[in-house]
Amino acid sequence: MERMVAMGGDGLCPHPALDVVKRPRLLDPSALSPFVDPLPVPVMLRPRMGETLRIAMRATEQRLHRDLPPTPLWTYGGSMPGPTIEAHSGQVLRVDWQNRLPSKHFLPIDHHLCGAEEDQPEVRTVVHLHGARAPAAMDGYPADWFVPGNSRLQVYPNRQDAATLWYHDHAMGINRLNMYAGMFGAVLLRDAHETSLGLPQGEQEIPLFLCDRLLTEEGQLYYPVSGRHDAPWVPEVFGNVMLVNGAVLPYLQVQPRRYRFRVINAANGRFFHLSLPDHRPFLQIGSDQGLLAAAVRQTSVMLAPGERADLVIDFTALAGQQISLINDALPIMQFRVGSAPVRDDSVVPAVLRELPRMPESAASRTRLLTLDSYSDCVAEPMLMLLNGKRWKDPVTENPVLDSTEIWSLLNLTSDTHPIHLHMVRFQILDRRPFDINVWMASKTVYYIGPAQPPPPDEQGWKDIAPAWPGMVTRIIVRFDGYVGRYVWHCHLLEHAANEIMRPFDVLPA
């Protein structure tokens, strides 16, 4: 590490001799007619008690827009997103994940990255159910990958509250490529309490997977490269095309009534900032780990990669109209509201669930953990580390089962890093600006402003905490569930690959 310079900001150093890499001609998305394809809604699988679902990972082709040729993808079950699985709190879900992918990858592997070395098989997969409280052996640890021709039975006990979970690839060193190729899908975990509330359901409850991709003029996926042919890793990927459930600018026919949308940001690096035209309000009823205490009236919602928002939009007053869902300033899909009045028995109760805030006094330990980027200007353009440690360094975060800890995430970079912990749910305590220079000089935290409590939509149970630049973001976590080795990492997939990802151990009490 001596040669590495902590950057404490975004001081990029010049890359040595870049090869000239030809970038393919990219599609001009404004040339595509908007709202000509219906929104794809993934099939819903409802496994019976004791049934084992078999889901095959397969290469396939999918038309992302009426006027584009089919795009080669890698998927779960033949579509991007893969099938939605309905599961129930307290009932075991069994999935046999079968790897039937080709043995060569079609996206650029960087063999310098940890776990993706030349001697490793090119195509490796392991499925992580994001947000699941699962035993370590079932969690999809990055090193637990398997190669084409193999499968793995994963059993999820689901001893947790209702939430929007999602499954995606987590194979060491290449999961950003596997996910970019299309490998993700949703699990809607329900419980009796949530079901009793009378929220919109059935055809009025729809998952919306958001992501972006770089598409060429021929409608093929393009994954950008650094310009160094031996080290193609890039620090971030942003697409020219936004996809909703795998479609470019789709439309959804709705009735003039309430709908519940389970929004999941499955992008590698893009934050989505959603709104309706004219600041029309909608309700946010849930976040990563299920319902909020009460619905929050929103005019916009920000979702970092990996985060979820459970939204209720009431189209009753919009009968006969068309209204788009907007990301930043641009529409990403359209709702076409029917004009015939319908009866809507759904409700959004004033109180959604009991959700006490965790007192700081519950914590037996506080850990100060830095998020920083490093560069030696030669081998690695930009390494990012948690607390200055690499993936292969000995485990340093080792909470005891059932204990509560506060993790203070000191972000020394100029990026927001959405930090995710496997297995547990947590609450965000606050964010507070601190002086980075004082930290760099003396390793002391010198606050330069007041602590900001999380806004109402971040006051529920979370499994991702966006750690803002120049801030200490504090989360409070009870490590209940299972002992064993898990993972915490930034959910910007390119960051996690190099190497803002660390193991943590839950130790027996």
Q: Do 246 and 215 touch, CB atoms closer than 8 A? A: no
58 binds, among ligand C2O, Cu ion, none (CB under 5 to 8 A by kind): none
What is the C-alpha separation between 395 and 391, in angstroms, rounded? Answer: 9
CB neighbours of 356 closer than 8 A, spacing ≥ 6? none
Q: Which is nearer to ligand C2O, 181 or 436 (CB)?
A: 181
State the nearest-atom distance from the C-beta of 495 to Cu ion, in Å.
3
Beta bridge partners of 365: 405
- CB nearer to ligand C2O: give 249 or 500: 500
Dist CA 461 CA 355 (whole Å): 8
- From ligand C2O, Cu ion, none, interface partner of 422 (C-beta below 5 to 8 A by class): ligand C2O
Q: What's at 508, amino acid-wise?
A: P
Is the CB of 76 or the CB of 233 nearer to Cu ion? Answer: 233
Residue nearer to ligand C2O on the CB measure, 168 or 176: 168
Indicate which of ligand C2O, Cu ion, none lies near residue 495 (CB less than 5 to 8 Å, by partner kind).
Cu ion
Q: Report yes or no: 80 and 267 within 8 Å, Cβ to Cβ.
A: no
Q: Please choose which of ligand C2O, Cu ion, none residue 168 contacts, taking the beta carbon within 5 to 8 angstroms, the exact cut-off set by kind.
A: ligand C2O
- The residue among 225, 218, 315, 322 whose CA lies nearest residue 261 is 315
Q: Nearer to ligand C2O by C-beta: 131 or 454?
A: 131
490 binds, among Cu ion, ligand C2O, none (CB under 5 to 8 A by kind): Cu ion
**Minimum gap (Å) between residue 414 Cβ and Cu ion:** 11
Q: CA-to-CA distance for 243 and 112, rounded, in angstroms? A: 30
Residues forming the site for Cu ion (CB under 5 A): 417, 490, 492, 495
Of 257 and 489, CB closest to ligand C2O: 489
Nearer to ligand C2O, 276 or 492 (CB): 492
Task: Tell me which residue of 208, 206, 210 sits closest to 243, measured CA to CA.
Answer: 210
Residue 492, contacted partner among Cu ion, ligand C2O, none, CB below 5-8 A by kind: Cu ion
Instruction: Extract the tokens encoding 118.
Output: 């030349």
Nearest to 132 by CA among 270, 266, 289: 289
What does 308 bind: ligand C2O, Cu ion, none (CB cut-off 5 to 8 Å by kind)?
Answer: none
387 sits in the region (left: phi over 0; alpha: psi -120 to 50; else beta) called left
Per the CB < 8 A criterion, the answer to whether 181 and 62 are in contact is no
* Residues at the site binding ligand C2O, with contacts judged by CB under 6 A: 128, 130, 168, 170, 306, 420, 422, 487, 489, 491
Choose between 128 and 478: whose C-beta lies nearer to ligand C2O. Answer: 128
Two tokens, residue 232: 């193609």
Separation CA 69–CA 242 (nearest Å) = 17
Residue 88 or residue 489: which is nearer to ligand C2O going by CB? 489
With a CB cutoff of 8 Å and minimum separation 6, the contacts of 347 are 197, 198, 199
How near is the Cβ of 390 to Cu ion at its closest, in Å?
Answer: 15
The amino acid occupying position 507 is: L
Which single residue brings its beta carbon nearest to ligand C2O?
130
Least CB distance to ligand C2O at residue 106 (A)? 22
| C-alpha–C-alpha distance, residues 434 and 439, integer Å | 8
Distances (CA, A) of 343 to 77, 255, 450: 36, 10, 49
CB of 489 to ligand C2O, least distance (A): 6
Token pair listed for 141: 């640890």
Q: Nearest distance from residue 132's CB to ligand C2O, in Å?
A: 10
**Smallest gap, in angstroms, from Cβ of residue 278 to ligand C2O?**
34
Closer residue to ligand C2O, CB minimum distance, 248 or 428 = 428
Q: CA 224 from chain center: how many Å? A: 20
Q: Which does 65 bind (CB under 5 to 8 A by kind): Cu ion, ligand C2O, none?
A: none
Q: How far apart are CB 156 and ligand C2O at their closest, in Å?
A: 15
Cα torsion at 398, 403, 404, 405 (round to 10°)?
A: -20
> With CB cut-offs between 5 and 8 Å by kind, which of ligand C2O, Cu ion, none does residue 128 bind?
ligand C2O
Closest distance to ligand C2O from the beta carbon of 236 (Å): 17
Other Cβ atoms less than 10 A from the Cβ of 67: the count is 13
Give the amino acid at 70. Answer: P
Taking the complex as a whole, the smallest distance from the CB of residue 253 to ligand C2O amounts, in Å, to 31
Closest CB 269 distance from Cu ion, rounded Å? 9
262 binds, among ligand C2O, Cu ion, none (CB under 5 to 8 A by kind): none
- Residue 465 CB, shortest distance to ligand C2O, in Å, is 13
Amino acid identity at 118: E
- 417 contact, one of ligand C2O, Cu ion, none, CB 5-8 Å limit per kind: Cu ion
Closer residue to Cu ion in complex, CB, 194/494:
494
By residue count, the chain amounts to 509
Closest CA to 348 of 255, 285, 305: 285
Q: How far apart, in Å, do the first and last CA atoms of the chain sit?
A: 34
Task: Choose among Cu ion, ligand C2O, none what residue 502 binds, the Cβ cut-off being 5 to 8 Å by kind.
Answer: none
Residue 258 or 422 having the CB closest to ligand C2O: 422
